[in-house]
Amino acid sequence: MRYLITGAAGFLGTHLASRLLADGHEVIGLDNFHSGAEANISRLRLDSKFQFVQHDVVIPYDIPCEVVCNLACPASPPYYQRDPIYTAKIAFLGTLHALENAERYRAKVLQASTSEIYGDPLVHPQPEDYLGNVNPIGVRSCYDEGKRIGETLCADFTRLGRVDARLVRIFNTYGPYMRADDGRVVTNFIAQVLRGQALTLYGAGKQTRSFCYADDLIEGFIRMLAHPTNPGPINLGNPHEFTMLQLAEEVQRIAGTALPLKFEPLPEDDPRQRQPDISKARRLLGWEPQVPLAAGLVKTIEYFKALPRA
């Protein structure tokens, strides 16, 4: 099969491309390095079944393929808030162009949606039929609302019979190939322990997230694409929920450090809690995460330690 991955130079794009190449597929990676890393593409280029196209998804493209995995979009809050209008364009136009390219070649689409479509959830844990609590005009809205219109486009193309577009709602995922400077909590804490710096906790550190290791998530993508019919949106994430204080303790325990904590203001609209209800993924895809937080953190810390200037 010939897969097109938009956002291939990013964290998840690199994992997905590696997995598909290992499974014997051809992969075309498309990226403009807005938030990804050229080093990730250099690694993928070692496989002759990988091709790279440098392109911005807000501009239409025409690339023959059998599956489009639409991952292009900055995912870290500091990155996507840096140029919010561009983020909204990527989420809307990037998804439209992925769907149009797929329609041209009768390709299936895997759309990287997000738990952010639930906003600051009032229902806990979040099942797929929860419609969310999203601020349409806040600092996170460019991403949250962008991803919501992305889902709308996928649902309408699917309803109209133009494309089979499958929605995965990804909850916080971490692992190797993230950028050390990407600003998300796992990479911040790891970079801080490796540099011997205080760990930055936003607010009181009592907000929760549920962290999924990258390999588990990618297995969910593969099962979603292999499902005989389009099952509608599916949450993919690890249901084990931790406060940011607990995460800081766990990173320090594994790294063997006892650095101070530095409390900083809570960013605007920061969701207080987040935990996926994965019963639909369990039932329809036979999927659930296998890698506990501690084991995933060990692998991630090893990766960052091995980088030249971690």
Residues in binding contact with ligand NAD, number by CB under 6 A: 28
One of 44, 110, 191, 201 touching ligand UDP (CB under 6 A): 201
* Closer residue to ligand UDP (CB): 71 or 185: 185
Instruction: Tell me 116's DSSP state.
Output: G
One of 4, 28, 29, 34 touching ligand NAD (CB under 6 A): 34
Give the range of 19-27, 66-74, 270-278, 296-304 binding ligand NAD by CB under 6 A.
Answer: 66-74
Among candidate residues 253, 254, 250, the one with its CA nearest the CA of residue 299: 254
Residue 58, amino acid: V
Please name the residues in contact with 151: beta carbons below 8 A apart, sequence gap of 6 or more: 111, 113, 117, 167, 233
* Closer residue to ligand UDP (CB): 202 or 304: 202
β-bridge mates for residue 47, sequence order: none
- 171 in helix, strand or coil? coil
β-bridge mates for residue 31, sequence order: 54
Catalytic residue among 3, 79, 118, 143: 143
* Closer residue to ligand UDP (CB): 96 or 185: 185
Q: How far apart are CA 173 and CA 245, in angstroms?
A: 18
The torsion angle over the Cα atoms of residues 303, 47, 288 and 214, rounded to 10 degrees, is 30
* Closer residue to ligand NAD (CB): 257 or 270: 270
Binding of residue 303 to ligand UDP (CB under 6 A): no
Minimum CB distance to ligand NAD, residue 220 (Å): 12
Task: Please report which helix (H) or strand (E) contains residue 114, including its range.
Answer: strand 108-114
Direct distance between the N- and C-terminal alpha carbons of the chain, in angstroms, rounded to an integer: 36
Residue with tokens 């895809």: 285
Backbone phi and psi for residue 111, each to the nearest 5 degrees, phi listed first: -105, 120
Binding of residue 145 to ligand NAD (CB under 6 A): no
* Closer residue to ligand UDP (CB): 203 or 231: 203
Binding of residue 185 to ligand UDP (CB under 6 A): yes
One of 51, 197, 200, 252 touching ligand UDP (CB under 6 A): 200
Binding of residue 244 to ligand NAD (CB under 6 A): no
Q: How far apart are CA 10 and CA 141, in angstroms?
A: 22
- Show the tokens assigned to 167: 């929605």
- By CB under 6 A, what part of segment 150-179 binds ligand UDP? 172
Binding of residue 270 to ligand UDP (CB under 6 A): yes
β-bridge mates for residue 69, sequence order: 5, 110
Examine the residue annotation and report whether 143 is marked as an active-site residue of this protein. Answer: yes
Please name the residues in contact with 250: beta carbons below 8 A apart, sequence gap of 6 or more: 242, 293, 294, 297
CA dist list (Å): 102 to 36, 49, 109, 159, 164: 23, 20, 7, 15, 9
Binding of residue 13 to ligand NAD (CB under 6 A): yes
Give the range of 180-188, 214-222, 235-243, 286-294 binding ligand UDP by CB under 6 A.
Answer: 180-188
- By CB under 6 A, what part of segment 69-88 binds ligand UDP? 76-77
* Closer residue to ligand UDP (CB): 56 or 144: 144
One of 4, 28, 98, 112 touching ligand NAD (CB under 6 A): 112
Residues that bind ligand NAD (CB under 6 A): 6-7, 9-13, 31-36, 56-58, 71-75, 90, 94, 112, 114, 170, 172-173
Residues that bind ligand UDP (CB under 6 A): 76-77, 172, 184-185, 188, 200-202, 205, 207, 209, 244, 267, 270
**What residues act catalytically?**
143
